[in-house]
Structures are given as C-alpha cells and as structure tokens.
C-alpha cells in the first residue's frame, strides 16, 4: 500500500484525485489546498492548508503536486528533503538549473521524481510513433500543432508555461531529437500580466520544423496535429471520439488506425507512477524530457517577442 497526499486541489488536482482513488494500491491520506475551510478539516482524507504539515508525517510515501508552476521548485525540493517520493505536474520548474538540482537531489536520496506528461500515455501518440518508425509516411519534415481553447485564464501562469510542455514532450517522444533553433511570438490580450496567445517555431537538429500554436483565447477548442513526411501525412484530432488518427499515404490510400481508448491516459499515468514507486525504478527518460521542456521554455522566453 502506498500512502499519498495530494497538494493542490484545483482543476487538475481534482482529476488526479479521481484517478488515484481508482487504484487499489493507493490510500489517499491528505488533501492540501488553501481553499479548504476550518469546518472541512475533520473529514477523511485529512484536510490541511499547509503542505509542510504533510511532510512531517513519516507514514506518507509520496506527494502528488498540482499547484501553480512557480511553486513547484520549492514544494518538490522540500518534499524530497523530507524523504518523500514525488509526482508533480509539468513543468518541473521554470529554470533549468533548478530542474537539474531537483533531478540530482532525487537521485542522491534514491527517491522517485516523476513529472506528469499525460499525452505520452495516449494510444494515439503511441500509434503515431509506430507509423513514423515503420516508415509509412517517410522522412518527417514538418509538424504543425494547434492547442487552442478559450480559457482557463491563470494569474500566476502564461499560455506557454501552461500548454507548451505537452507538445515538447510529444515531439521529443516522436522525433527523439533536440531543438537547434527556437522562435516565439506571443501577445497579451485579456490579461495585462500574462501571454494568452503564442506561436512557436522550432527547428530540430534533424531538420524537422515544428510550428506550435497555443491559445487561451480561441472560441473553438482544437487539439490537432499535422505530421508531414516524404511519403504521406498523419492528422491527429484528439477531440474526435473514435477516428482520432487519419493516415494519408502517397498512394492516395486513406486509413483510420484503430486505437485502444478503453483507459484514460491520466489513469495510465497514475498507474505507472505506482509501478515505478513499487519497483524502485529510476525514470531517466522522464527526467530527460522534464529537463528538455524547462530548457526550451527558458529559451523561448529569452527569444520571445511580445506584440
């Protein structure tokens, strides 16, 4: 049995709570959030407002962190120093040096540090990887990704920090390559202090060019990828209920690969964290993607042009 505490019960924290509850190997002992009132503190799981209370409890094996990104570094560090295994929402930190420090600290303490990249557990992403590996669309030369919606507006975050790491992790998984050049354009439209629209161009060492469009101000939700190769194209529409992937081959043949959609990707993420914890596996690939995402975020902010 793994005793866990969830720190941050907002939009994503609620989803994590729902999925961890489904796992027989998990007992949720604490929920931590500033929103809870004194009257709610006598219920089970135990309710607290300060995460440091949780870290004093030796019965807690792991903490699940779903707070605002700027708080991640300190909460993760405190948790590791307290001997807790850590599951944290992306991004691990906003600074590459801090991210490296946390990864090294987890290694030193022999603790699990696991960053949630939900889309890597999607059957659609795994199928696209298989299509690329089997050369069905030839050499990939361009990828266009649209991650658009209206809201959720966040005071301590911007659209790039909120959404980009999904695409960075997907692209890293699909291409197994690192960026050579990064250019970004962004704008503030509904809030004075944070970007709500951005376009990012990334050129990879292999020559692949990725164009990523991110928005909190698009009135129509869109989660779509266009992956072009020398022998065909894959179109992935994550909002499609069944035919999520359309494969167009240069012969003119169009097909819709069948996917196993029986399990929610986030549930698979939670399962994998428990598996890693139980086996004591050090997740080097997860740490590598996490560091890559933070490096690219910092590079984008360095090169960013605000309109």
Instruction: Work out the pLDDT band at 98, boundaries 50, 70, 90.
Output: very high
What per-residue confidence (pLDDT) applies to 232? 98
- 185: domain CATH number is 3.30.360.10
Domain identity same for 17 and 87: yes
Report the candidate in 11, 227, 56 with the shortest Cα–Cα distance to residue 128: 227
What mean pLDDT do residues 275-298 have? Answer: 86
The reply to whether 289 falls in a domain is no
Instruction: Work out the pLDDT band at 304, boundaries 50, 70, 90.
Output: low
Instruction: Work out the pLDDT band at 42, boundaries 50, 70, 90.
Output: low
At 178-190, the pLDDT tens digits run: 999 999 999 999 8
Domain identity same for 80 and 149: no
Mean pLDDT of the chain: 93
Q: What is the pTM of this model?
A: 0.90
* Torsion from C-alpha of 73, 74, 76, 77, nearest 10 degrees: 110
- 28: domain CATH number is 3.40.50.720
What per-residue confidence (pLDDT) applies to 191? 85
What mean pLDDT do residues 157-170 have? Answer: 89
At 198-239, the pLDDT tens digits run: 999 999 999 999 999 999 999 999 999 999 999 999 999 999
Domain that includes residue 68, residue range: 2-116+267-281
Domain identity same for 97 and 25: yes
- Residue 122 above 80 pLDDT? yes
3-state secondary structure of 118: helix
What per-residue confidence (pLDDT) applies to 29? 97
The reply to whether 294 falls in a domain is no
DSSP classification of residue 91: P
Domain identity same for 111 and 124: no
- For 30, list phi and psi in degrees, rounded to 5: -135, 150
Question: Comparing 18-27, 84-93, 295-304, which segment has the lowest mean pLDDT?
Answer: 295-304
Domain identity same for 49 and 127: no
What mean pLDDT do residues 244-260 have? Answer: 96
Sequential DSSP letters for 174-213:
HH---EEEEEEEEE-SS-SSS--EEEEEEEETTS-EEEEE
- Residue 286 above 70 pLDDT? yes
What per-residue confidence (pLDDT) applies to 151? 80
The reply to whether 214 falls in a domain is yes
Within a 13 Å sphere around the CA of 47, how many CA atoms are in the beta-carbon half? 13
- Beta-bridged to residue 202, according to DSSP, are 182, 210
State both tokens at 153: 């507006």
The reply to whether 301 falls in a domain is no
Report the candidate in 211, 193, 201, 214 with the shortest Cα–Cα distance to residue 303: 201
Domain identity same for 52 and 139: no
The reply to whether 158 falls in a domain is yes
The reply to whether 287 falls in a domain is no
Distance CA 161, CA 294 (A): 9
Look at the chain and report how many structural domains it folds into: 2
What per-residue confidence (pLDDT) applies to 305? 57
What mean pLDDT do residues 148-156 have? Answer: 82
Q: Which of 135-144, 156-165, 281-290 has the highest mean pLDDT?
A: 135-144
Domain identity same for 78 and 131: no
Positions of E strands within the chain: 2-7, 26-32, 46-48, 62-65, 85-89, 113-116, 140-150, 179-187, 197-204, 209-215, 217-229, 232-237, 245-249, 254-255, 304-306
Distance CA 195, CA 306 (A): 8
Distance CA 72, CA 80 (A): 12
- Residue 46 above 60 pLDDT? yes
Distance CA 237, CA 252 (A): 20
- Residue 285 above 90 pLDDT? no
Burial class (CB in 10 A: 0-12, 13-18, 19+), 112: buried
- Residue 26 above 70 pLDDT? yes
Domain identity same for 208 and 250: yes
Report the candidate in 52, 49, 74, 66 with the shortest Cα–Cα distance to residue 13: 66
What per-residue confidence (pLDDT) applies to 41? 61
Residues 6+ apart with CB under 8 A from 47: 30, 31, 32, 36, 40, 41
Domain identity same for 153 and 271: no
Distance CA 98, CA 242 (A): 41
The reply to whether 164 falls in a domain is yes
Domain identity same for 40 and 132: no
Domain identity same for 126 and 237: yes
The Cα-based distances of 22 to 19, 56, 155, 271 in angstroms read 5, 26, 32, 10
Distance CA 257, CA 132 (A): 13
Instruction: Work out the pLDDT band at 281, boundaries 50, 70, 90.
Output: confident
Domain identity same for 56 and 104: yes
- Residue 3 above 60 pLDDT? yes
What per-residue confidence (pLDDT) applies to 40? 61
The reply to whether 14 falls in a domain is yes
């Amino acid at each position: 049995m793994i005793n866990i505490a969830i720190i941050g019960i907002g939009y994503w924290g609620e989803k994590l709570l729902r999925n961890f509850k489904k796992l027989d190997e998990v007992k949720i002992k604490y929920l931590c959030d500033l929103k809870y009132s004194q009257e709610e503190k006598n219920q089970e799981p135990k309710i607290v407002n300060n995460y440091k209370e949780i870290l004093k409890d030796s019965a807690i094996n792991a903490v699940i962190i779903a707070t605002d990104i700027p708080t991640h570094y300190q909460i993760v560090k405190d948790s590791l120093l307290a001997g807790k295994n850590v599951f944290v929402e992306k991004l691990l930190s906003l600074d590459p040096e801090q991210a490296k420090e946390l990864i090294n600290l987890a290694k030193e303490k022999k603790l699990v540090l696991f960053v949630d990249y939900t889309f890597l557990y999607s059957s659609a992403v795994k199928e696209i990887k298989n299509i690329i590996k089997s050369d069905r669309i030839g050499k990939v030369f361009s990828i266009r990704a649209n991650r658009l919606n209206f809201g959720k507006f966040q005071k301590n975050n911007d659209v790039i920090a909120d959404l980009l790491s999904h695409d960075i992790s997907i692209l890293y998984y699909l291409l197994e390559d690192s960026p050579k050049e990064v250019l970004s354009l962004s704008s503030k439209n509904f809030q004075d202090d944070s970007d709500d629209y951005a376009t990012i161009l990334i050129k990879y060492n292999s020559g692949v060019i990725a164009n990523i469009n991110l928005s909190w101000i698009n009135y129509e939700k869109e989660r779509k990828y266009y992956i072009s190769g020398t022998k065909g194209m894959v179109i992935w529409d994550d909002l499609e209920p069944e035919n999520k992937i359309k494969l167009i081959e240069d012969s003119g043949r169009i097909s819709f690969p069948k996917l196993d959609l029986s399990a929610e990707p986030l549930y698979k993420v939670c399962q994998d964290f428990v598996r890693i914890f139980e086996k004591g596996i050090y997740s080097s690939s997860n740490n590598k993607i996490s560091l890559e995402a933070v490096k690219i975020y910092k590079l984008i902010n360095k090169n960013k042009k605000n309109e």
